[in-house]
Amino acid sequence: MKLYDGGKILIGLVVFLAFVLFPFYNNIGKVNAKPEPKTDTPEIQEWVKINGKKECVESKEFMQREHMQLLNNWRDAVVRDMYRVYVSTSSGKQFNMSLQNGCLHCHSNKKKFCDECHNYMAVKPYCFDCHIQPMEKEENKS
């Protein structure tokens, strides 16, 4: 059976495969370590001293899955509806709904915490375009 325009089709197929398989062959040999976010900032250690255990707004499992949605909800509650306090479903404790002054108060190590998972997942949330990230303790501020 004759393949009409066979030359063009084959070239097209090769170009197509080159594009589609790029992420795979481009990363051959690169080892992507499992993300290990660190929760040992001085602020968290202070909290442990006072409260006896590490405690976030919600459980680790919840946060891993839902922190994006939680932050979106906080954003609308604070900016649009004038609420400020969040009552944790896991602990009943009250927290100030704030990324910059709440979450990042304890998690003051963006590179070793937030970026660990975000880099691994190749996600670039643009929160930090506006929300000032805490100064890294050891490195110079950018």
CB of 17 to another protein, least distance (A): 21
Among 37, 100, 118, 120, binds another protein (CB under 8 A): 100
How many CA atoms within 13 Å lie on the side-chain side of 93? 10
Among 44, 57, 97, 103, binds another protein (CB under 8 A): 97
Residue 124 makes contact with another protein by CB under 8 A: no
| Span 66-85, contacts to another protein by CB under 8 A | 69, 72-80, 82-85
Q: Which stretch binds another protein (CB under 8 A): 18-26, 34-42, 48-56, 97-105?
A: 97-105
How many CA atoms within 13 Å lie on the side-chain side of 8? 2
- Burial degree of 100 (CB within 10 A; 0-12, 13-18, 19+): middle
Alpha carbon of residue 106 to chain centroid: 15
Residue 121 makes contact with another protein by CB under 8 A: no
Interatomic CA distance for residues 65 and 90, integer angstroms = 15
> Considering Cα of 97, then 70, then 79, then 126, what sign does the dihedral take?
positive
Residue whose CB is less far from another protein, 31 or 130: 130
| Residue ranges binding another protein (CB under 8 A) | 69, 72-80, 82-87, 89, 94, 96-97, 100-101, 126, 129-132, 134, 141
